[in-house]
Amino acid sequence: MEPEDWEIPANLQPHPDDYRFDLERALNAVVGLRANVPNDAFTAGTLGTERIGNGVVIREDGLVLTIGYLIQEAESVWLITADGRAVPGHPLAFDSNSGLGLVQALGQLHLPVLEFGDSEALAVGAEAIMAAGGGRRHAIETRIVSRQEFAGYWEYVVDNAIFIAPAHPFWSGSALISPDGKLLGTGSLILQQGDGKRRMDMNMVVPVAALRPVLDDLLTLGRRSGPARPWLGVYAMEGEEGIVVGGLAEKGPAARAGIQQGDRIIGVGDEDVSDLAALWRKVWQAGPAGSTVLLRVGRDGSRIAVRITSADRQSFLRGPKLH
């Protein structure tokens, strides 16, 4: 479905009379985003080569915040304004720790800027607006339903992530806007909670608090400063049998060390782990990228220990080309 082919039901859209800030101006700060990735890119098989989402202008010089997977290894990026203009962009930075990305517009956007709000003070029950590029018809009034840690299968943890409902159907890189017109976070995922009879769709939003301490590094270095976290190239899932390896990055550290799909991860070093967040945090405590990580796994009724020489995730990715 193309972004132009849908709209939020009118009764769920925000109405200008309900807000004390200029709603149209704030929504115009949100842009559509299209990225193209080469077929031989490391993430092409998992994330695709044509990626469509959103971003939000956070600086007057055309700096755009988005969710990082949209621009990972991108060869070209286009930013689409609410009035239909397409402006080329440069994928400036990707932060694998937070999952956030930055794009620099290569032409004049002539758009308003959304300043950061206090995402850490955002409480459960608070109202907000989730906005994709395209103005009010692509924005939805929503509510904060949870604030909690989120762990992803791809070696990823967000502290104090924001969960909202009703969910936005075009969430990737969308802007979560506070009732006073400030940016609170960036849309990352859609999740489902409940059983087959009563199901609630939610968006997971990465709070802007995750960007504040590393913004200067991303602007100057293209990544956060300091040693990179150790990365194994393991896609792990929580199930009834514990933590199970669901897949492996091709030629990644874990695959080279002999970890297999279906292995049950019992512990890291001498410590047992029972959930994804604990697993990834224990891996990161092993030292910087390049450190040896000892995984204890169950396989075919036996328990084995596998030593993995970790790597820097970024070293497997294509860097952005300068225009």
pLDDT per position as a tens digit, 57-98: 999 999 999 999 999 999 999 999 999 999 999 999 999 999
Q: Please give the single-letter amino acid code of residue 19.
A: Y
Average pLDDT, the chain: 95
- pLDDT for 1 equals 47
Copy the structure tokens of residue 196. Answer: 């087959």
Report whether pLDDT(42) > 80: yes
Mean pLDDT of 4-14: 90
Q: What are phi and psi of 124, to 5 degrees?
A: -60, 135
| Nearest of 217, 190, 179, 230 to residue 67 by alpha carbon | 190
pLDDT per position as a tens digit, 164-205: 999 999 999 999 999 999 999 999 999 987 655 678 899 999
Q: Which CATH number is 1-226 given?
A: 2.40.10.120
Query: What percentage of the chain carries pLDDT values higher than 90?
Result: 92
Asked whether 52 and 89 are in contact (CB, 8 A), the reply is no
Asked whether 173 and 66 are in contact (CB, 8 A), the reply is yes
Report whether pLDDT(320) > 80: no
Domain ranges (residues) in the chain: 1-226, 234-316
pLDDT per position as a tens digit, 228-242: 999 999 999 998 889
Any idea which fold 234-316 has? Pdz3 Domain (2.30.42)
Mean pLDDT of 23-35: 98
Task: Find the largest Cα–Cα distance for the chain.
Answer: 65
- pLDDT for 193 equals 78
According to DSSP, the residues that pair with 76 across neighbouring strands are 36
